[in-house]
Each structure stands twice: as C-alpha cells, then as structure tokens.
Amino acid sequence: MIQQTSKSQIAMHWKAFKTNRVECTLCPRHCKPKTGSIGYCGVRGNVNNELHTFNYGKGLAATEEVIETEAINHYRPGARILSMGNIGCMMSCSFCQNWETSQVKHLDQRFIQHYSSQQIIDICLENEIDIISWTYNDPIVWHEFVLETSALAQANGIKTLYKSAFYIEEEPVNELIECIDIFSLSLKSMSEKFYQKVTRAKLGPVLERIKQVARSGKHLELSQLVIPELNDHDEDITRTARWVLEHLGPDIPLHFVAFHPAYQYTHVERTRIETLIRARTLAKKMGLQYVYLGNTHQDGLNDTHCKSCNTTLVRRYGLHAHTEHIDKDGRCSQCGTMSPVIGPLHQEDTCTPLATNHDYAHKVHLRWDTDVQSAHIMLTRGNKGHDRLRIRPIGPYPAVERVLKQGLDRLILSRQGEDDQGVVVSWNSNKQYELFPVLDRAHFPLSQSTEATMINLEQAIS
C-alpha cells in the first residue's frame, strides 16, 4: 500500500475519478493516474487515491538575470530578476530548449535544490532583487509552490513574472491572476496540427487562457519561437499576427524568437536572422505596433520606438537595455505620446565600477561566438554567499564588481555590443566558479557531467 511521504504533498486541482484513480484538472490533459502512478508531466501522481505533487519547492539554482531574458520589453527595461525553474512539463515539445529539466526521464537530480517560499523571498531581499520570474521548463507544474511564494512576494513588495507555454485550465489561471504581475506567454504556432504533432498538446486551450489573462488587465507580452521547417513560413507568421490583432489588439508586444537546435530537433540550423526580420516586417505591415526579435545580438533589431514619431525610446543590444527620450512622466520627450513602457525607467546600477583593471588570483573566461553570446557564471565548489566577483569584458566596456550575496550562486552575463569579444571573471576566495554557455535567453545550462543520475518518480511514490 502506498503511503504519503515527505517527498510529496497533496496537490491542488484534482477530483476522484474511479476506484484507485484520480483526475488531475490543472491542465487540459486531465491525466487519470491509478494508485502508484504519475501523470504525463512526470511530477504529479496518485498516492492513496489523492493527487500529490512531487516537485513542491524542488527547483533549479536561483539565478540572477534581467527581465529581457523573459521576452518582456515593456516592463522596467534592464530590471534585475530572480529566475526560478523547476522540473517536469505538461508538454513534450520535440524542440524543447530545456529538455534536460522539462522531460523528467532525462533529469540529473544532482542539479535539484530545495527551497522554501521564505528562502526565495530572503534571496530577493538580501540581493536587492524585486522581481521573481517563474520560468525555464514551465511553472504550471509548480503551481502550488508558485502560488504560495507569489503571495508572500506580494506581501514583501516583490513583483512576480510568469513565463509559460500556458497549457492550463481556467480556474488555476484565475488563481495566478490574483498573485502574478507580469505574464510572458509562448504561443508556439497557430496550427492545431503543429500542437498535436510537435508539442503533444492542443492549441485551443492555450488561446483561451491567453485571452483570459488579457481580459484581466495584467501586463502581457507574447512570444513565438520561430523554428526552421516547422513554423517559419510567411503563412505561419501572418496567422499569428492576425490572431493577436483580432483578439488582443495592436499594442500587445509580440516577440519572434530565434531557435537553437535541441533535444529531438537537431537536423536544422539556428533560425536565420533574415527570417526573423521578415517576420517582423510582415507583422508590422499588418498593424502590430511593437514587434521584437529575441535571441538576436545586433543593433537596431530590438529597440522600442514611439508609435507616433518613431523616436527611439529604449535601445537594446541582446539583453542590454538603455532608455532614451522618455521623460519623467513616461512620455516621449520628442512628441509627448505616452510610452508603452512601464517604469521605473532608470534603475540604480548594482555593479560597482572598478578603479583599477587588476584581476583577482582566480579567473575564468569565455569568448563570444555565433552560438554563444551569454553565459551563467556559477559557483561550483564552496558555500554560497558574499563573494566579490570582478567582471571584465574583452572590449571597450568598463570592468565592474559584483557581490553575490546569501543564497545566490548564478548570474547571467551577456555581450554588450559588436565590439565586445568576451568576458573574464576573477575572484580571490578559495571557491570555484565556472562559466556555462547560454544557448538562448530561455536556456538553463547544466554542468557538462559525463553521466546523468536519472530520477524515477514512479519509484519515489511506490
């Protein structure tokens, strides 16, 4: 007889189905696992005829990134965020950019950390980060922990961001709307056949839930990964743009995002920049005001312009953003039109410029190339907390100093311009840091260990 253990806790959104079975109502899949079995996501299962969640508080290392990593361009450009990912997924996309954590059968449990809601809040407060992003694999399957922590974040003046493919039911979305401030939702295609064949899901529920968030008035931006040979034709682009115009309006930001070969879809190359530029041109000709190109590192491709006079309001290169021509009232300083960007527009710099270029004793470096233009600097040996890192770009950009305070051991670094060739990170403690290449802005890189230790959740509940 299966007993409830400390490895799980009772889940939300389920009902009794038949003898020895329960029905999960969190996502449209409505799995009906029998006693001792798990659902499609790999992290919710039947324990003694109750649905349990097996990933409550179990996540990837808390990582400091910037809000642009989440395909959000109209909310506090350049804001620092605490990115939190977990394990499992309600989809199984053949092209998944984070398949090592979304597909449980491939998971290396050595990379899983355990957090309480209060610990997440403490990391934010200690490191002066005031936005938590639920991201990477997909936060839907972390529903209980996301709700609890987001409510606690609200009480502490911390905003929350939800990055999701949004294959979820109506009632849990109502719960999210109560505690989430920013939604970055991924619409993978406007083809039902694409969803059924490539993601093993359905399109209709995703569209309905996106409209539900739009009706709520919460900050919403959409993105679509543009995948060679799957959804990169003009017809694919125009169908997406048409739906956004008809159901959400011309002012909703739409991000067309470059794909990198991953998981079961590796026979193609990265999305060509020409394909993304054409997608943006088509969408803007149809009437969308704000169309952005994600995973691109080139001047002029990702800026925000005034819709009245075309003045540049926010200039971006990759993940770096700089506000321009926006006055203290949030208006275009050239024509007075209200900016679409929600402030505050100018954050205090959390990096301390160096008085000297002298490096500490230990160092690692990485050169940017066509595939890698961002990286996580990660603590791989030693205790977390209060390490002083010196970050020196290889190019005409100033070196800065950062302190990773309590609970934080990952920080994203990225290319700042065409003449930025790479980065050198140095430190003076006996700890060990490594640089892990980030293949796209939604990618969570894991250690290049030789052999993964697989986790078997069916055994965990038996």
Is the separation of the CB atoms in 90 and 29 below 8 Å?
yes
- Taking the whole predicted model, whether its pTM rises above 0.85 is answered as yes
Please check the confidence at residue 169 and state whether its pLDDT lies above 90: yes
Q: Tokens at residue 223, please?
A: 């993105």
- Please choose, from the candidates 147, 129, 127, the residue with its C-alpha nearest in 3D space to the C-alpha of residue 139: 147
pLDDT for 170-191, tens place per residue?
999 999 999 999 999 999 999 9
Is the separation of the CB atoms in 380 and 432 below 8 Å?
yes
Handedness of CA 179, 183, 186, 189 (dihedral sign): positive
Q: What angle (nearest 5°) sits at the alpha carbon of residue 178, between those of residues 172 and 184?
A: 75
Please check the confidence at residue 426 and state whether its pLDDT lies above 70: yes
Neighbours of 365 (CB within 10 A): 12
* 3-class secondary structure per residue, 45-99: EEECCEEEECCCCEECCCEEEEHHHHCCCCECCCCEEEEECCCCCCCCCCCCCCH
353 confidence band (pLDDT: 50, 70, 90): low
Domains, in order of start, for the chain: 9-54 (no CATH), 58-296 (3.20.20.70), 352-438 (2.60.40)
Hunting for tokens 């543009």 — which residue is that?
Answer: 226
- Three-class SS state of 173: helix
Residue 264 pLDDT: 86
Residue 153 pLDDT: 98
DSSP characters over 289-354: S-EEEES--STTSS-EE-TTT--EEEEEETTEEEE-SB-TTSBBTTT-PBPS-BS---PPP-SEEP
pLDDT for 66-124, tens place per residue?
999 999 999 999 999 999 999 999 998 888 888 788 788 777 777 889 999 999 999 99
Is the separation of the CB atoms in 441 and 259 below 8 Å?
no
Residue 348 pLDDT: 46
Hunting for tokens 């569209």 — which residue is that?
Answer: 207
Task: For residues 79 and 376, give the distance between their C-alpha atoms in angstroms, rounded to a whole number.
Answer: 17
pLDDT for 40-49, tens place per residue?
999 999 999 9
Residue 447 pLDDT: 58
